[in-house]
């Protein structure tokens, strides 16, 4: 295949929803289509909860749960062909068009893609995190997908290193995530009149909101008037309550999110494990320094001085970092803010999409070479 040729590309997704991972896939699909490629996205509806969960729901009077046929998705906002199959099941040859390359996006879809016929395209696996770490996933089965004959496309350097050291794959493609620096853009500014920290609220333990909230509570005792702004796709619950005076925005409109970042002096990123961490870049693009644990791309993104990296599982160090950033003079804070914007400006989709395109071309090339080698071996055996 000549480099630069328009490709037929298929993404295979689990349920398409409003998660960050689906947003990244939708962005790549849309921008690859603008570059002349023919895009198709195929997804499943939500799978049924385990039988024990359904029985408990019924016994508690909540009815027998059934998954919704459709749900809101970031793919709703892009002009890319998207098909949902009729129910949750493995996606197979009959669900997909013939293509040049087919891309798995989740460990389970990697199993499905590996079983497809060659007509569906060279096989790639776009990995946005180490799904072995996610609660409730079958660790051995997930780990096995890293050894399937798929070309892996990885969004952060720690995943590249993980592929090499833990799974023996040194032939991966590193494609860092990008952001729209026009959408996530605000004018230069100084600190807020009232010191303000912000965070994404999530109730999954892996996201580490308990760390950020414990750190905020400590910092609030030392910083007069410190306030918290948070947003998220789940409402705060009793198990992980926000401070009584915190401002929480549930599922804010996408166009409002840059304003939320820009209302803060520091953005808190306490994740225990992350593939990349797009909100880090989004906050930095909006000139807000980030305080983060070393998860996902945080170490490489904050190495330029646009925030503070703190040890994992350490609310006191996190609180000290909040105190440090909020205690900077206006000129010192502005310098950190400008460095954050500079780093974010080098991580655009205009940079990432050609790298993703090159990774797909490499997947096709590797597949072609393997098929030729296989044919040569067969000829040798039959001679």
* Domain definitions of the chain by residue range: 8-178+349-382, 196-345
Q: Determine the pLDDT at residue 2.
A: 45
Maximum C-alpha span of the chain: 84
What Rg value do the Cα atoms of the chain yield, rounded? 22
Distance CA 208, CA 52 (A): 27
- Cα–Cα distance for residue pair 158/300, rounded to 1 Å: 10
Inter-residue contact 47 to 108 (CB < 8 Å): no
Please tell me the pTM assigned to this model: 0.85
CB 121 within 8 A of CB 98: yes
Question: Which is nearest to 283 in space by CA: 326, 213, 347, 328?
Answer: 347
β partners of residue 41: 11, 82
> What is the rounded distance in angstroms from the CA atom of residue 107 to the CA atom of residue 127?
8
Q: Give the helix ranges, DSSP H, for 169-240.
A: 209-220
| DSSP-derived 3-state class of residue 114 | helix
Distances (CA, A) of 30 to 6, 44, 180: 14, 20, 13
Contact 368, 362 (CB under 8 A): no
Instruction: Classify 249 as helix, strand or coil.
Output: strand
Number of alpha carbons in the 13 Å side-chain half-sphere of residue 78: 23
Domain spanning 8-178+349-382, CATH architecture: 3-Layer(aba) Sandwich (3.40)
CB distance 6 to 33 below 8 Å: no
Q: Say how far apart CA 295 and CA 286 lie, in whole Å.
A: 21
Averaged pLDDT of the chain? 92
Q: Are domains 8-178+349-382 and 196-345 of this chain identical in fold?
A: yes
* CB 27 within 8 Å of CB 56: no
Give φ, ψ of 173 to 5 degrees. -110, 125
Return the sign of the alpha-carbon dihedral for residues 61, 67, 71, 75: positive
Identify the CA nearest to 291 among candidates 249, 252, 322.
322
Residues of the chain with pLDDT under 70: 1-4, 47-70, 374-375, 378-383
Closest CA to 202 of 256, 288, 272, 154: 272
The reported pLDDT for the residue numbered 242 is 97
**Residue 54 confidence (pLDDT):** 47
Q: Give pLDDT, residue 62.
A: 58
Q: What does the pLDDT read at residue 135?
A: 86
Task: Assess contact for 134 and 206: CB atoms under 8 A.
Answer: yes
| Contact predicate 340/284, CB 8 Å | yes
Residues with Cβ within 8 Å of residue 109, at least 6 apart in sequence: 12, 13, 14, 91
CATH architecture of 196-345: 3-Layer(aba) Sandwich (3.40)
- Which residues are bridge partners to 337 per DSSP? none
């Amino acid at each position: 295949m000549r480099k630069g040729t328009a490709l037929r590309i298929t993404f295979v997704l689990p349920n398409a929803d409003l998660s960050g991972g689906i947003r990244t896939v939708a962005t790549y699909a849309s921008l690859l289509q603008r570059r002349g490629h023919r895009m198709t996205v195929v997804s499943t509806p939500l799978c049924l909860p385990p039988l024990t969960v359904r029985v408990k729901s019924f016994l508690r009077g909540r009815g027998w749960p059934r998954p919704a046929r459709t749900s809101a998705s970031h793919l709703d906002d892009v002009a890319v062909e998207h098909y949902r199959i009729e129910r949750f099941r493995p996606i197979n040859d009959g669900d997909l068009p013939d293509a040049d390359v087919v891309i798995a996006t989740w460990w389970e879809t990697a199993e499905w893609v590996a079983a497809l016929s060659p007509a569906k395209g060279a096989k790639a696996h776009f990995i946005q995190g180490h799904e072995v770490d996610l609660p409730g996933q079958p660790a051995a089965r997930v780990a096995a997908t890293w050894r399937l004959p798929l070309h892996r496309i990885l969004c952060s350097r720690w995943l590249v290193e993980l592929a090499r050291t833990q799974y023996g794959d040194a032939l991966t493609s590193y494609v860092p995530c990008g952001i729209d620096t026009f959408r996530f853009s605000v004018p230069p500014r100084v600190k807020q009149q009232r010191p303000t920290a912000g965070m994404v609220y999530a109730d999954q333990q892996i996201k580490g909101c308990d760390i950020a909230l414990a750190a905020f509570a400590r910092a609030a005792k030392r910083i007069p008037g410190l306030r918290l702004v948070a947003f998220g796709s789940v409402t705060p619950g009793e198990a992980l309550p926000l401070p009584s005076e915190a401002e929480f925005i549930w599922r804010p409109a996408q166009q409002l999110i840059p304003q939320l970042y820009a209302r803060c002096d520091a953005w808190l990123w306490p994740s225990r494990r992350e593939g990349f961490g797009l909100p880090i870049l989004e906050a930095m693009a909006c000139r807000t320094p980030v305080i983060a644990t070393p998860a996902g791309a945080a170490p490489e993104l904050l190495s330029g001085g646009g925030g503070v990296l703190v040890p994992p599982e350490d609310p006191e160090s996190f609180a000290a970092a909040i105190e440090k950033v909020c205690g900077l003079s206006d000129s010192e804070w502005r310098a950190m803010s400008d460095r954050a914007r500079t780093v974010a400006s080098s991580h655009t989709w205009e940079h990432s999409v050609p790298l993703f395109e090159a990774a797909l071309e490499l997947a096709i090339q590797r597949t072609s070479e393997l098929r030729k080698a296989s044919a040569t071996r067969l000829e040798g055996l039959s001679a």
